[in-house]
Every structure is written in C-alpha cells, then in structure tokens.
C-alpha cells in the first residue's frame, strides 16, 4: 500500500526531510533567460548513457491520491536499512543514449507517450569562485521537471527550444545527481496540439550541458547589418547586448578583427549595451548562398559590481552579415532579388533513426538538399537543433524556421498563447545571429476564425517586436473557389511579409487539373509555395496514374512545377518533403508503415524519380 510512505518509518523520515528542505530552501535554483551562444562557453557535456525508468502512471511523481509526492523518484532514494521500502532504483534500470528519443532506442517505447524518468550523475568541485553554473538543455519533448540532488531546478514545457537553470546553489562537491521527468503526452492545450503529422518522439532529444559563466555574464546579444543603398560606401552594423544583471556603467567591447572593428560602449541601468559601427563596403563580404562568409566576432565585458568585485566576461561567435527584405513581390537578399529554391525537412536522422541532433545528421540532409540545387530549406514544423541551423549557415543555405502552431491549436486558451509566445521568444533568442535565417514562421495550416486571427496577429506583431530585421510568414491554405480557381484569402496576409501557402494539387486533388489551375493571390507581397507534393514508395514502379509509384510522384512534380511556374509573384517554394518521415497518421501497410512517403528521398536515402524532376527545374531557376 502506498501509505507506507506515511508509516512511522516515513514519519520519522519525513521530519528529517522536512528539516532538510527547510535548510535547503536557500539552496534553490531558478530558471534564467536562455543563454545566447552556449557553444562558445566553457561547458561540461552530460550527454551519454542515462538510466531510465518508464513510469506509465507517474508513480514517481504522484501519490495514490494523485497529489504530488515528496518521496518521488527525484529523491533517488536508496534503502538505508534492510526493512526500508524503496520501489525503484535508477542504478539497476536500463540506460539509453542522451541526447536521443526513447522511441527508437527501446522498441517497447516505439509508440509510447507518457512519462519516463532519466538519471545521470557527475562529479563537481564547488563552489567555483566568481562563477555560476547553468544546467542547459537543447530541447526536451515535451513537459519536463528537472531535479539536481533531489531539489527541483525547474519545470519546462515545449519540445523544440533550449532552456537553462542556474543550479549553482544546488551543487555539492563530489557526486551530483540530475534527474529529469519527461512526459510527452499530447494535450489539446499544448503547442503542438493533439494531432500532428509527425512522430511524437519523446525524451531528452538534444544536448545537456553544465555551463560555467561569471557571476555577471553576457546573457545574449545580437548583431545585424543595417539596410543601405547598394552603392553605399559605408555599411553599418548594430550590436545590442544584454547582461544577466541590470548593471549600469559596464564596458562592452565589440571586436571584429577581419573588419578592423573595435569599439566600446557602456551598459545602461537595465544592463543593456548598444553600439553601431561603420565598415567600408568594399571590406565587407556579404553573406549569401554563393559566399556564406562569416566573421569572427568577439564581445568582452569589463567592469566593477557595486560590491567592487570584478565584472568580466567574453564570448566569441562566427557571424555573417546580410540584409533581407521584400519589395513588392520580390524577396531581396543584400538588395538583389532572389528565388528561394527550397525543400521542406523534418528533424529526423537521415538513416531512419529517430530525432536528428548533430552536425553530421544535418550535413547529410542538407547535402541532399544541395544536390537538389536548393539554396533554401523550410525546417518544419518546429525549431530544429542549433547544429542544423549553423551547418546550413556554413553551407550557404537559407532557412525558414517555424514554431509548432500547427492545425487546430486552442486559440482561446491564454496559456496556449503564452506557450506559443515563449517558443517564439526562445527560437529567436537562440538563432537571432544566424545570417541564413531569413523567415520566422509562426504557424502552419490553421483554420480561420476570429480567435485564430487574434492569436496569430498578436504572435506576428510580437515576432516583429523581437526582430524587425527578418521576414515574418506562416503556411496558409488556399480556398478552392471553383473547380480550377484557387484564391488565397487570409486576414493574416496583412501581418506577414511573405504570403506562403500549401497546396496539394495531384495528391489530395486531381493532378490532371494542374494545367487548368488559376491562382488568385490579391496581395502585393512575395509568394512562397511552402508545400506541395505526393507520396511514393521507393522502388515501387508502375503507370504514372498508379498511386504510390515513383512514376506517379514524378508526374505530380512535373505537373506542379509547370503549374506554379505561372504563378505571378512566385518567389520560392519548399516542396513537401526531402525525406520520408515517420508519422503515426500513416498506417497503410506495405506502403506507409508509419512513414509519410512524400519524400523525394526514401527513409533509407534512396532518391526517387521526382528528385531529378525538381533538380532539373531548379537548374532553370
């Protein structure tokens, strides 16, 4: 019976723990704003084999009355005496590789949606003079509670953005234990909501690391090239930085050695620093797909805190400088019109092995995109890992980055809005210095309603308030007015810079209609076809009207590309999709087998006939 926890044993035990908790109230942790450019920091990776316990009924978190228990698995309790009753033991539990999803590492968990507990430990020598220690997660899907040495460090929801806790006061010298409760159950109020066409990979899916920062550190910063006339002899770069504390009068120095830039400024009362530097245009190579030039950028902080202690910090980054804007129906990169030769990508390993989370994974996927002739990728439908974004920047590939406001979100729920806004904030905070990211997308295929319009218009304006240097968009849907007339009519068009829509002529509609299709897009803005495509099982061949054959998909691509070529204002496209990807909505045996087969590459890396069709078309673009 559960209330053994409340036996005289437990009472004696609870008094002890209660005293302990009183003593350690001071030793609390707190969520701190996302640390910018964690990759340039002194870190200790906690990646590796973590023990895990599958906890279907959350026995480790709730008592049998469904009240959160103090004796949860986060205590990592061990029997002290022979008669002690502890009904879990992480150190006897199996292990899996972190980062990584649980679905592809334990076949019993392939379809599993629920709670899994993870445990790892590390040695530390504390305190570290003049420093704080942050515990940083690249992403955890979906709802997680983090504990350090039995104390809760924090609770985070959202499966695709980073978060970190200041755990300095929770650390002890010697062995430290980190326990993470992860729950990926789908809920109507979540973002994404109950249904979505991708696998709900659960777990600690990206890097986990301890990060050492000075007591006062550069929390985040942003560098952007200001727009200018093409003939401008000087170009201006604006730098803004924010300290972890509202300390005024601290010196922040920006250094871009290759551009002979070195300039100082001091922080204001909020701990914000801002400066503008001017660089001769001829000295600056602008970032673009053909020349993805990045410059080493150093930021240093020097000053004194009120108590006279030294304030000092340093971060270094590799940043490209470019401008992106629209002019009528054109997208201008560095002032010149560009056509976005794109493809959509889900964050799955190229070899069918679950969530991708490394530079190598990204490089393989992006190399296929390059082979297609792409200069642009739509990272769908959620922020992908930082390695992927940085590898695309290195390879000269422009990026559309999106938050999972997907299909039928709970528009009226204020917590759902806060959640979406938080994911947007974190997506921008992590990648705001990536030159290759040109579009922030705030939604995909959302049903029209006043509540939806309110939700999305607020998000769009909020995105612009965070970053007015990039384009805002979302993947809309067209209304088929009559057999062959398609009209894009969306109240959100006034809030976006690029009108993008998904269309599935040839798959969810008859391919033979393609040549007769008329597209009415009554907006003087660039148009992106953010999705089109159809399924094919690699190696399955037959007539072009035989669904699921490569010939059917090949023909669908040919017809669609001819059709969209006639769309006035077409500035780009990102066909659905680069690679077959897992989806619980795709259950057709021997064809889908829980894969969405709309890839132009199969889940084993085989290129389908449509790959060539798109490749040929991009050669002309």
Name the residues that contact ligand GCU, by CB under 6 A. 197, 381, 444-445, 502, 531, 576, 596, 598
Which of residues 323 and 553 has its CB atom nearest to ligand GCU in the complex?
Answer: 553
Nearer to ligand GCU, 69 or 502 (CB): 502
Nearer to ligand GCU, 354 or 534 (CB): 534
CB of 289 to ligand GCU, least distance (A): 25
Question: Nearest to ligand GCU by Cβ — which residue?
Answer: 197
CB of 427 to ligand GCU, least distance (A): 18
How many angstroms separate the CA atoms of 601 and 537, rounded?
Answer: 10
Tell the smallest beta-carbon distance from residue 118 to ligand GCU (Å): 29
* Smallest separation (angstroms) from ligand GCU to the CB of 583: 7
Nearer to ligand GCU, 216 or 596 (CB): 596
Q: How far is the CB of 596 from ligand GCU (least distance, A)?
A: 5
Minimum separation from the CB atom of position 534 to ligand GCU (A): 9
Separation between Cα atoms, residue 441 and residue 228, nearest integer Å: 25
Cβ closer to ligand GCU: 295 or 532?
532
| CA neighbor of 550 nearest in space, from 498, 609, 605 | 609
Nearer to ligand GCU, 144 or 459 (CB): 459
- Residue 478 CB partners (closer than 8 Å, separation 6+): 486, 487, 488, 501, 503, 519
Of 435 and 511, nearer to ligand GCU (C-beta) is 511
* DSSP structure class, residue 548: B
CB of 371 to ligand GCU, least distance (A): 22
Q: Cα 149 to the chain's mean position, in Å?
A: 29
Smallest gap from Cβ 422 to ligand GCU, in A, equals 22
**Structure tokens of 99?**
């980062």
Nearest distance in Å: CB 533, ligand GCU: 7
Beta bridge partners of 131: 214
The answer to whether the beta carbons of residues 505 and 563 sit under 8 Å apart is yes
d(CA 151, CA 142): 21
DSSP one-letter string for 551-620? HHHHHHHHHHHHHHTTSTTEEEE--S-SB-EE-TT---TTTTSSEE---SB-TTSPBPHHHHHHHHHHHH
Per-residue DSSP letter, 280: E
Comparison of 347 and 445: residue with beta carbon closer to ligand GCU: 445
CB of 235 to ligand GCU, least distance (A): 38
Q: Supply 595's token pair.
A: 């894969």
Handedness of CA 41, 44, 47, 50 (dihedral sign): negative
- Closest separation in Å from C-beta 565 to ligand GCU: 21
Handedness of CA 145, 102, 362, 339 (dihedral sign): negative
Closer by beta carbon to ligand GCU, 119 or else 381: 381
User: Which candidate, 582, 586, 574, places its Cα nearest to that of 444?
Assistant: 574
Q: Give the nearer residue to ligand GCU in terms of CB position, either 350 or 534.
A: 534
Q: Which of 2, 186 has the CB closer to ligand GCU?
A: 186
Query: Hey, what long-range contacts does 550-553 have (CB within 8 A, 24 or more apart)?
Result: 550/608, 550/609, 550/610, 551/609, 553/598, 553/600, 553/608, 553/609, 553/610
Q: Quick one: which H or E segment has residue 205?
A: none
Q: Which two tokens stand for residue 244?
A: 């972890």
Tell me the two tokens of residue 211: 């990060």
């Amino acid at each position: 019976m559960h209330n053994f926890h409340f036996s005289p044993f437990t009472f004696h035990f609870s008094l002890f723990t209660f005293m302990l908790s009183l003593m350690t109230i001071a030793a609390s942790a707190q969520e701190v704003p996302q640390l910018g450019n964690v990759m340039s920091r002194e870190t200790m990776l906690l990646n590796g084999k973590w023990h895990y316990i599958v906890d279907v009924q959350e026995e480790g978190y709730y008592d049998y009355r469904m009240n959160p228990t103090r004796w949860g698995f986060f205590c990592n309790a061990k029997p002290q005496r022979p008669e002690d009753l502890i009904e879990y033991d992480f150190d006897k539990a199996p292990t899996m590789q972190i980062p990584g999803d649980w679905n592809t590492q334990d076949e019993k968990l392939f379809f599993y949606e629920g709670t899994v507990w993870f445990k790892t430990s590390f040695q530390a020598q504390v305190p570290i003079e003049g420093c704080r220690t942050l515990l940083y997660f690249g992403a955890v899907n979906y709802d997680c509670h983090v504990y350090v040495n039995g104390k809760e460090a924090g609770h985070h929801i959202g499966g695709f953005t980073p978060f970190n806790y200041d755990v300095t006061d929770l650390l002890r010298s010697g062995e430290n234990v980190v326990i993470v409760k992860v729950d990926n159950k789908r809920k109507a109020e979540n973002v994404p909501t109950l249904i979505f066409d991708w696998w709900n990979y659960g777990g600690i899916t990206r890097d986990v690391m301890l990060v050492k920062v000075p007591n006062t550190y550069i929390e985040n910063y942003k560098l952007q090239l200001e727009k200018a006339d093409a003939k401008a002899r000087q170009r201006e770069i604006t730098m803004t930085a924010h300290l972890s504390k509202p300390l005024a009068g601290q010196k922040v120095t920006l250094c871009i050695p290759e551009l002979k830039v070195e300039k100082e400024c001091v922080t204001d009362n909020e701990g914000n620093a801002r400066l503008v530097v001017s660089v001769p245009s001829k000295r600056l190579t602008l970032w673009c797909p053909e020349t993805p030039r990045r410059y080493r950028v150093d930021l240093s902080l020097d000053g004194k805190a009120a108590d006279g202690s030294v304030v000092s910090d340093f971060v270094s980054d590799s940043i490209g400088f470019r401008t992106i804007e629209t002019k009528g129906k054109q997208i201008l990169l560095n002032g010149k019109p560009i056509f976005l030769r794109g493809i959509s990508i889900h964050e799955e390993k190229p070899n069918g092995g679950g969530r991708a989370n490394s530079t190598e994974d990204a490089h393989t996927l992006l190399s296929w995109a390059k082979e297609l002739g792409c200069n642009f990728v739509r990272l769908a439908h959620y922020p992908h890992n930082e390695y992927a974004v940085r590898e695309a920047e290195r390879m000269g590939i422009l990026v559309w980055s999106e938050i999972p406001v997907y299909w039928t979100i709970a528009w009226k729920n204020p917590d759902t809005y806060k959640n979406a806004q938080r994911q947007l904030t974190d997506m921008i905070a992590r990648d705001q210095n990536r030159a290759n990211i040109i579009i922030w997308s705030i939604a995909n295929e959302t049903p029209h309603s006043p509540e939806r319009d309110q939700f999305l218009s607020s998000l769009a304006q909020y995105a612009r308030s965070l970053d007015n240097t990039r384009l805002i968009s979302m993947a809309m849907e067209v209304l088929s007015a009559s057999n062959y007339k398609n009209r894009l009519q969306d109240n959100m068009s006034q809030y976006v810079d690029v009108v993008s829509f998904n269309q599935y002529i040839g798959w969810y509609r008859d391919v033979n209609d393609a040549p007769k299709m008329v597209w009415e897009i009554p907006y003087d803005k660039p148009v992106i076809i953010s999705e089109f495509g159809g399924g094919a099982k690699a190696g399955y061949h037959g007539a072009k009207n035989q669904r699921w054959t490569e010939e059917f998909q090949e023909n669908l691509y040919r017809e669609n590309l001819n059709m969209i070529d006639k769309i006035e204002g077409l500035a780009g496209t990102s066909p659905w999709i680069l690679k077959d990807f897992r989806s619980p909505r795709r259950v057709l045996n021997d064809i889908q087998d829980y894969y969405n087969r709309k890839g132009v590459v199969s889940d084993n890396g085989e290129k389908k006939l449509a790959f060539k069709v798109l490749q040929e078309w991009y050669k002309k673009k």
